[in-house]
Amino acid sequence: MYSSHSIQPFYRSVGTDLLWTSVKAVQDKRIYLAPNLPYGWFDTPPGVNRLIGVRWLTSILYPKQFPENLRETTRQFYKLFYQVDLTDANLAMLLATATSNWER
């Protein structure tokens, strides 16, 4: 899992790169890129987005124990901390690489 913009090319190509086809996560299409708007959810800079980043990560690593409705959680988080009402289109863009709907 990475969240830097520099990893985008790797993220987009890992599913078809022969060097990675033997990796179970690639085979199972369990490749995620942490959201990073307006700041990284997982790595940098340190800040309030790490709160939602922890919820995002636990829902990926332990989906049965943490059956998170990530869309609703994200909507509430952005309203509370950024006073922003996310549209469905905003949510789709923000969470496109963060969920198990791994489509290339």
Domain ranges of the chain: 5-95
**For the domain 5-95, what is the CATH code?**
3.40.50.1980
Question: Can you tell me the mean pLDDT for 57-62?
Answer: 89
Residue 86 has pLDDT above 80, yes or no: yes
For residue 83, is pLDDT > 50? yes
| Stretch (H or E) spanning 38 | none
Q: How many CB atoms lie within 10 A of CB 46?
A: 9
Nearest CA-CA partner of 96 in 42, 33, 50, 40: 33
Per the listing, tokens 């996310």 go with: 86
What's the whole-number average pLDDT of the chain? 84
- What the block records as the tokens of 20 is 């990675």
Q: What per-residue confidence (pLDDT) applies to 53? A: 92
Q: Say if pTM beats, i.e. exceeds, 0.85.
A: no
Residues in the chain: 104
- How far apart, in Å, are the Cα atoms of 58 and each of 16, 19, 42, 98? 27, 28, 12, 12
pLDDT band at residue 103 using 50, 70 and 90 as cut-offs: very low
